[in-house]
Chain A
Amino acid sequence: QITLKESGPMLVKPTQTLTLTCTFSGFSLSTSGVGVGWIRQPPGKALEWLALIYWDDDKHYSPSLKSRLTITKDTSKNQVVLTMTNMDPVDTATYYCAHLGYCTNGVCYQFDPWGQGTLVTVSS
């Protein structure tokens, strides 16, 4: 059974850097084809994809946020870390991490399952 859980600060101040950790079980990020992504959802709004990292350390970022995002993995700890710099109140959202699932021939762009999400509020 695959599970993921996000952790990090609930409150950050404007201009600060946010660091979120996704701790997972049930799979290894050293296995070919495996990937983990981050997606956020502002209160009452739509999902927004942020970043994705693969087993081979291939990384992809949302073009609109690329300059502020860094995604890394620690295979030994079964963790993926997302950092977002220069936080602003508009970045207030629930941040989800998710596993890339149901891959066909090692290719997939759908997320399954998702973590429970963590609400991050940006306010002074």
Chain B
Amino acid sequence: QSALTQPPSASGSPGQSVTISCTGTSSDVGGYNYVSWYQQHPGKAPKLMIYEVSKRPSGVPDRFSGSKSGNTASLTVSGLQAEDEADYYCSSYAGGNIYVVFGGGTKLTVL
């Protein structure tokens, strides 16, 4: 059982927007602005897509955006493209003892 809860799947048609949620607690997502999102294509290593809730690393399209409200963080992918089909994982800092936690992952399907 992962520390952060994500929906197992999400889907959308090309050009549409889709939002993936990541629910934690006040001890992780809600307590710190250190939520990050990773994209993982089959057989590949994860790639950082969003860090510190809403910041985009260089090279990541602005179609990817992040936000947070209370204990739930969200990743929104706008203008869906075929190459966005992948697994997405959220992660959060969880304080000095637990430190880093991941979500269970969401498989995004582009219909």
Contact = CB atoms under 8 A, between A and B. Distances in A.
Interface of A: 37, 39, 46-49, 52, 60-63, 96, 101-102, 104, 108-117
Given A109-B34, A112-B57, A47 B89 contact: yes
Interface in B55-111: 55, 57, 89, 91-93, 97-105
Given A46-B104, A96-B45, A102-B48, 17 more contacts: A46-B2, A47-B89, A47-B105, A49-B99, A49-B100, A49-B101, A62-B98, A63-B97, A109-B91, A109-B99, A110-B51, A111-B36, A111-B38, A111-B46, A112-B57, A113-B48, A114-B45
B102 A114 contact: no
B37 to A, nearest CB: 9
Interface residues of B, number: 25
Nearest to B46: A114
Contacts of A62: 98-99
Interface of B: 2, 34, 36, 38, 45-48, 51-52, 55, 57, 89, 91-93, 97-105
Given A47-B89, A101-B48, A114-B46, A109 B36 contact: yes
A2 B22 CA distance: 29
A78 to B, nearest CB: 19
Given A46-B89, A47-B46, A117-B45, A52 B105 contact: no
B91 A110 contact: yes
Contact of B51 (A48, A108, A114, A116): A108
A109 B28 CA distance: 12
Nearest to A50: B100
A46 B45 CA distance: 12
A102 B104 contact: no
